[in-house]
Chain A
């Protein structure tokens, strides 16, 4: 019975979930017949099974719900949101009861009359309203009962069983009074009249049916039958028979069709007869009359049996092989079992255990493989290879059993959104894409609640009231879109709404109030940074606390939960346009491939998924670690890569300096290039071993707050090692740089770093001024032997990578060093390089660049305060020009200067960037107009200024590049002007978006060569077109 109950619970819960979703769909599309049929079928099954298992509470609630659904199906009721709400609440009640059932194995106590009455009211509408006085004043009405039962317009068969029984028990009147006369007359024709006429028959048949359905041994006889139809037929049948006009009655086979097709047995027939007798007795029929009716039934029963036998025979003939299936029960179930055979239910715990065992097996396999590696030529080698293969396949197989479509986590959302719509008076369209994307069950469980919460938030905070939406020029119905897809070993789930966005000003005020940031700090933050505050505890911008959200717990928990499973959550929001959350989670948690590295005496594992490449660095190889004031960096393919030393991060530097220095001299360093989000950095380790499949095991609670580690594992040799968490490490180092509170891993931060906080190289050259140049412009840092500097054409040059590289000093008075090594900054322009000689490189840091004093001096952009000191920003373009005579003598050549210089409109909110790129473009022979916002650019359009090409930044406050482009393309004199987008984003998606809104091309910021060629391309295209 336990198993049966369990199965029932799982199945019913599943059905209820489906019904939940389908009902919401039905509400939107009331005429969808297949959906309605499906709902009806599911509820009916639930009801049926409840009866079978003897769960009266569940059965009665389900039955009442089914009644309403039946009315929908028969087209007697229109699907309204009120009635759907009622059915949904009935489902909720069923869920409650199921939960209780699961806990105690018994139906919990409770009273469902209210909800049942409500449902009946909907189902029978006026009919019940007319009868309802019965409930209110049973005594009075009982006397009038005969009238009610006899009146044709009330169908007693449709009044609930309880009411009827009560009414009959309380109304002995008609039968008692008339009994004597009737018996006296003793006329067969009058049995019908004596027992109360057609309506009494109907009542009897109704009760009879309910009894049958309530009796486990015979209820299957009504399987597949339409109860209402069957009642009508039996009613007509008995009426005709009892009235002595059997010729008017429908045929036995038609009336008792369900009995026959379900193969009634002798025993069942006895039970049926007994039930009928009970009913007759209950309605106070005299024993004589009851005998008469039963006698009629016995006659009929003989016919039923002969019909049943016929039917069974034909069936047997049709399918001899399936003789066994002739059994009634088997027959009834044959339909669904063939489908069900293809899948079985397995307890989750079994799967979990299986997974654990497979994990252990993988570990043991690893151990064996390790042993094998150490012993050459072992006889075990081939079987072990095979074992390894099998283990891998087994592992994959077991993993597959754990995969579930992400849609499972979404199943409850339509219902939630529907309820919210009613509660909040909003109109929301929930779109779910990629619901069949699969991910690990464990992960799925973990994100279920965060997801629900976020969708709720979107509905509550995001989507505005319909009136507000209309006022804002949007469609009345808000859209919340869920989208799940795979991306490189991760699953991305996006939750997008087109609502009001996250109000930056409100957040600012709140952040100030809560003391999370000072006003100055807030001023410096981008909107996005401020919006990220929603992930802090105690933040909710809903003005009033609703039942839905706004209690200030939530988003921080969401983030914690997601990060717990190694995921990240990111947020983009434009005020007035909407908000988009994107959750990135690993596919599975259990087994990962990891790189084993050594640092000092310990080994550590780094999840392979975040490792981009490995670089060996030694003094004499191509790659070597260089230091800028103790900050290690690595040149990798003409880029400087920030490095962190693992021993430092792990606090191991305390070991006495001598040994470290010594080892530093002789050893090669291995650098694990790691990527977290779009942030790439190198981890310096002492040695790199193999990659291994490891089973991530959580660390003890006491160690759980160490964000450096993602867990620990047992290696093939039995040693425990710690698994490094690149996310945590990135957070740790970026915290110290940007101090923005731990979303370092996200791409957003990188954009910000590129946008707002530039990595700046600080150096000293000549005099004592601090000077700076954006690190992104520097190709390499070099130190050259002074002796190698030669003088050519009166200018210092050096042979560098097979070319002559001119050396430029920042001011004419500057003297090259006379001995030792000369540090230079190498800038590359196309295939040409130029070196700027400097005295000393001070530091690399990230800071905002605010040019406070613009400079009139050539070669200087202006003065900015960096790190608390006035610092001159040098104009690299000027020096490149100085070194090569004219800029762009190489392939980057811009415009070769025909009659008129092409006129470029440049839009970028970063003054720094404008200052950087303006000289470049003008040096390449263009005329430049630069403005710092889309709005000012549009103002120029209004004034009638025309340009040959427009170059616009994408990330700008107020009006971003996309909206600007849309605006431009909408009309006006710039409609056909070529437009180039500049952005630090460079995913194909961004490109596509750019194209879509009207940009002709898309160039990544600071890729100067591409920009130049793109400009030339676009201008020539325009000229050709003209």
Chain B
């Protein structure tokens, strides 16, 4: 691996620090009005209008099988693109863009829960805590998610 730093937008999800590679983040949104889509898979929170584009909102907590968030959260979301379609990932809160040295990277521990294992691209060791890299590809590839659920 190169000895370079990697940049991430850090987010919090149920207390866990996660990171999404900064180049994949198109937008960070504050709370938006989301239109629910009846009959959609549970992880789909609905659809929203982002400057004339229709963006599908994904509830990351549900996607990862976490408990529902308490009502007073910030309800931020991060817009990423997957196979040419924009998706907005609903998260609890957004932190800073941080840069991490490559040598603090670790592979997923084998004991990691499968729902995290499925979407994680590895772990960064930080001072005092760990950051899970969220792999957008895996996150939005619902076939895998459904397979695990089934």
Chain A residues with CB below 8 A from B35, complex form: 602, 712, 719-722
Within 8 A of A (CB), among B21-56: 33, 35-41, 44, 46-49, 52, 54, 56
Q: How far is the CA of A650 from the CA of B36 in the complex (A)?
A: 11
Chain B residues with CB below 8 A from A856, complex form: none
Which residue on chain A has the smallest CB distance to residue B140? A702
| Given known contacts A700-B87, A703-B44, A718 and B54 CB-to-CB distance under 8 angstroms | no
Chain A residues with CB below 8 A from B140, complex form: 702
Chain A residues with CB below 8 A from B100, complex form: none
CB distance from A687 to the nearest CB of B (A): 16
Contact A697 B40 (CB under 8 A): no
Q: Is B85 in the interface zone, CB < 8 Å from A? A: yes
Report the interface size class on chain A.
20 to 34
Chain B residues with CB below 8 A from A897, complex form: none
Q: Contact partner of B49 among A650, A651, A714, CB < 8 A?
A: A714
Chain A residues with CB below 8 A from B87, complex form: 700
Q: Is A706 in the interface zone, CB < 8 Å from B? A: yes
Chain B residues with CB below 8 A from A706, complex form: 37, 39-40
Contact B47 A699 (CB under 8 A): yes
Q: How far is the CA of A651 from the CA of B41 in the complex (A)?
A: 12
Q: How far is the CA of A700 from the CA of B89 in the complex (A)?
A: 14
CB distance from A698 to the nearest CB of B (A): 9
Beta-carbon contacts of A695-715 to B below 8 Å, as 1s and 0s? 001011111001011001110
Chain A residues with CB below 8 A from B39, complex form: 650-651, 706, 708
| Given known contacts A650-B39, A720-B35, A714 and B52 CB-to-CB distance under 8 angstroms | yes
Q: Is B83 in the interface zone, CB < 8 Å from A? A: yes
Contact B85 A700 (CB under 8 A): yes
Q: Contact partner of A701 among B36, B40, B83, CB < 8 A?
A: B83
Contact A701 B44 (CB under 8 A): no
Contact B54 A712 (CB under 8 A): yes
Beta-carbon contacts of A648-667 to B below 8 Å, as 1s and 0s? 00111000000000000000
Q: Contact partner of A650 among B33, B38, B52, CB < 8 A?
A: B38
CB distance from A131 to the nearest CB of B (A): 60
Contact B38 A652 (CB under 8 A): yes
Chain B residues with CB below 8 A from A703, complex form: 37, 40, 44, 56
Q: How far is the CA of A651 from the CA of B87 in the complex (A)?
A: 24
| Given known contacts A720-B47, A720-B49, A651 and B56 CB-to-CB distance under 8 angstroms | no
Contact B56 A718 (CB under 8 A): no
Contact count A vs B, C-beta below 8 Å: 59
Which of the listed residues B35, B48, B56 has the most CB atoms from chain A within 10 Å of its own CB? B35
Contact A702 B44 (CB under 8 A): yes
Q: Contact partner of A651 among B38, B44, B46, B52, CB < 8 A?
A: B38
Contact B44 A722 (CB under 8 A): no
Beta-carbon contacts of B60-74 to A below 8 Å, as 1s and 0s? 000000000000000
Q: How far is the CA of A602 from the CA of B39 in the complex (A)?
A: 13
Q: How far is the CA of A145 from the CA of B109 in the complex (A)?
A: 85
Chain A residues with CB below 8 A from B49, complex form: 714, 718-720
| Given known contacts A602-B35, A720-B49, A701 and B85 CB-to-CB distance under 8 angstroms | yes
Which of the listed residues A709, A713, A714 has the most CB atoms from chain B within 10 Å of its own CB? A714
Q: How far is the CA of A708 from the CA of B142 in the complex (A)?
A: 20
Chain A residues with CB below 8 A from B48, complex form: 720
CB distance from B145 to the nearest CB of A (A): 10
| Given known contacts A700-B87, A703-B44, A720-B49, A714 and B33 CB-to-CB distance under 8 angstroms | no
Chain A residues with CB below 8 A from B38, complex form: 602, 650-652, 708, 722
CB distance from A721 to the nearest CB of B (A): 6
| Given known contacts A650-B38, A700-B85, A708-B39, A720 and B54 CB-to-CB distance under 8 angstroms | yes
Q: Is A189 in the interface zone, CB < 8 Å from B? A: no
| Given known contacts A702-B44, A722-B47, A714 and B54 CB-to-CB distance under 8 angstroms | yes
Q: How far is the CA of A652 from the CA of B142 in the complex (A)?
A: 24
Which residue on chain B has the smallest CB distance to residue A714? B49
Contact A363 B142 (CB under 8 A): no
CB distance from B81 to the nearest CB of A (A): 11
Which residues of B are interface residues toward A (Cβ below 8 A)?
Answer: 33, 35-41, 44, 46-49, 52, 54, 56, 83, 85, 87, 140, 142
Which residues of A are interface residues toward B (Cβ below 8 A)?
Answer: 360, 363, 602, 650-652, 697, 699-703, 706, 708-709, 712-714, 718-722
Q: List, sorted by A's number, 11 A–B pairs whose CB atoms are closer than 8 Å.
A: A360-B52, A602-B38, A697-B54, A699-B56, A700-B56, A701-B85, A702-B44, A706-B37, A714-B49, A718-B49, A720-B46
Known: A602-B36, A702-B142. 16 other contacts (CB 8 A): A363-B52, A651-B39, A652-B38, A697-B54, A699-B37, A699-B54, A699-B56, A700-B85, A708-B39, A709-B37, A712-B35, A713-B54, A719-B35, A720-B35, A720-B46, A720-B49
